[in-house]
Amino acid sequence: KDKPVKRAVNREAPSVHPDTPVVEALRLFCRNHMTIPVVEPVTKKLVGMISREDIMRALRETTSAT
């Protein structure tokens, strides 16, 4: 049967804050192999999601700027 998402959601999934270093997000991604939610630390509101591609792009931009 079709159950609601709230019954399937993983509340223990790792998340990062907007100020989390990209390298830490990469570590989490490598450990969990999933897109990572970006959450405001105080309000716990979802800001967005960061994917492997987002992380790799940010790392390329960082290394090309130096």
Element (H, E) at 39: strand 36-39
**Residue 18 confidence (pLDDT):** 97
CA Rg, the chain, in Å?
14
**Could you read off the pLDDT of 6-38 as tens digits, one per residue?**
888 888 889 999 999 999 999 999 998 889 999
